[in-house]
Amino acid sequence: MATEQGTTHTTPVFEKNDPRIINGWAIFDWANSAYALVITVAIFPPYFLGIAPDTINIGGFAIHDETLIAWGISLAYLIIAAISPILSGIADYGGKKKRFMRFFTVLGSLACISLFFFDSPESLWIGLGGFVLATVGFAGGIVFYNAYLPDIATEDRYDAVSARGFIYGFAGSVILLVINLAMVLQYDALGFPSETSAIRWAFVSVGLWWLGFAQISFKRLPPDARKPMAEGLLRKGYDEVIKAFRAVRSSGNTSLFLLSFFCYNAGVQAILFLASSFADKEMHMEKSKLIILVLILQLVAILGAFLSSRLSEKKGNRTSLFVMLIIWSVICLLGYSVHTESEVFLLGGAIGLVMGGIQALSRSTYAKFLPENTKETTSFFSFYDVMDKVSTVFGTMVFGLIAQLFGGMRSSVLALSVLFLISLAILIFVRVRRMPDVPEN
């Protein structure tokens, strides 16, 4: 394969908007979204809350189980937020996006499979440790997955290609969730000795699904640059990240967008990660109904991702984000006062409508801020990913802290509405346009 020589890069040449490459990229979402849905949203939180004691003594502090799982998510995203800028900078300079994607995929899928051995309070450390490592693997892979977007598609295709990734992710995860739902509901007919056993094997199925389908992406995505790992590469990674940071800092529009993104993403991620925990602890819903709730949420999310892409085509990215943030604010206010299971299902449908849309649109909107001629796409996207991870830490920490202080999750949901309102206020001042080109050193 021919290469293009630059001052610090050897980049494989390939055709943008190639349907085979784009579909291969989107299949990675199909693969790893099964973890995001089945484990972090649908099955693991209520399973964890069912096995763990109501309060766990850690270092002399009595921590509620719902707070512990929220802070477990915070820890995982804090780890990846700390290392992703360095890794993405190295990946940019060394041209090793695919290598890092593969590493985090293997880490996450194997950690997910290890959850099979979490079956009692005595093995709580296996459950929490496996969950944290699997979440690190999931989040780490997304850093490099997102960074491929400007490489494989032209700007006029960003919204559509980004939405395709989320649609693939929602569709694939729904298929596996239906299989896992059948395993849980019909565990005796399928030969499982108990519902708990079926859930543990569901953990294994997610890990195998994730690892298996990711191989299609690794086969189709453009190969890494063929160049040796130079001395001082760690320093180069820092240099690339600092260079991208300076460009972002010099652009008021980009900085304001990332600040708005930080606020609303903190609320979005806290809700997505902890919605099933809320339904379990506050509404005492059965596990099978929780899975059905998440299934409905995901099916509606497929439609939401498609509608957000069409809305952005007609009204622009900023207006589309405004609409979705207003809906998210209303969801939080209604979530505080929900009392019946039917109300929970209606609220879940509303969450699904804006869940995929705001994630897909946020990613493609940020891509439109990048300098036109930059090759450091991974370094620039590291800032987006750091804001994503740190805001997730912030949102889940706040959610867990309020639940710990007030002994319930309703106040936590109400507090998240403030984050959406702040993000709306900031977004008023944002204009979607490119940063100036970054000068070469």
Is the CB of residue 56 less than 8 Å from the CB of residue 400? no
Q: What is the pLDDT averaged over residues 176-181?
A: 90
Task: For residue 162, give its domain range.
Answer: 18-223+231-427
* Joined tokens for residue 190: 């399928």
Confidence of residue 376 (pLDDT cuts 50, 70, 90): low
* Joined tokens for residue 162: 């980004």
Q: Which residues, at least 6 apart from 95, have a Cβ–Cβ distance to it below 8 Å? A: 9, 10, 11, 12, 224, 225, 226, 227
Helix (H, G, I), strand (E, B) or coil at 62: strand
CA 413 to chain centroid: 19
The answer to whether residue 64 scores a pLDDT higher than 90 is: no
Backbone angles phi, psi at 12, to 5 degrees: -60, 140
pLDDT of residue 5: 41
Give CA–CA dist 270/71, Å, rounded: 11
Give CA–CA dist 256/430, Å, rounded: 6
Residue 379 domain-assigned (yes or no): yes
Is the CB of residue 30 less than 8 Å from the CB of residue 211? no
Residue 400 domain-assigned (yes or no): yes
Residue 181 domain-assigned (yes or no): yes
Specify the residue for token string 């309703």.
410
Helix (H, G, I), strand (E, B) or coil at 12: strand
Q: Number of structural domains, the chain?
A: 1
Q: Please state which of the ranges 80-89, 173-182, 233-242, 356-365 shows the lowest mean pLDDT.
A: 233-242
The answer to whether residue 426 scores a pLDDT higher than 80 is: yes
Give CA–CA dist 404/25, Å, rounded: 40
Residue 40 domain-assigned (yes or no): yes
What is the Cα gyration radius of the chain? 21
The answer to whether residue 438 scores a pLDDT higher than 60 is: no
**Which CATH number belongs to the domain containing residue 39 in this structure?**
1.20.1250.20
Residue 101 domain-assigned (yes or no): yes
Give CA–CA dist 352/274, Å, rounded: 14
Q: Which of 48, 184, 202, 16 is nearest to 120 (CA)?
A: 48
55 beta partners: 64
Q: What is the pLDDT averaged over residues 307-315?
A: 83
**Which tens digits make up the pLDDT trace of 315-325?**
888 888 999 99
Residue 56 domain-assigned (yes or no): yes
Percentage of residues in the chain having pLDDT higher than 90: 25
- In this structure, what is the dihedral angle of CA atoms 397, 401, 404, 405, given to the nearest 10 degrees? -170
Give CA–CA dist 384/362, Å, rounded: 9
Residue 165 domain-assigned (yes or no): yes
Is the CB of residue 378 less than 8 Å from the CB of residue 147? yes
CA 137 to chain centroid: 11
* Joined tokens for residue 298: 């995901």
Is the CB of residue 153 less than 8 Å from the CB of residue 16? yes
pLDDT of residue 397: 87
Give CA–CA dist 388/34, Å, rounded: 19
Residue 433 domain-assigned (yes or no): no
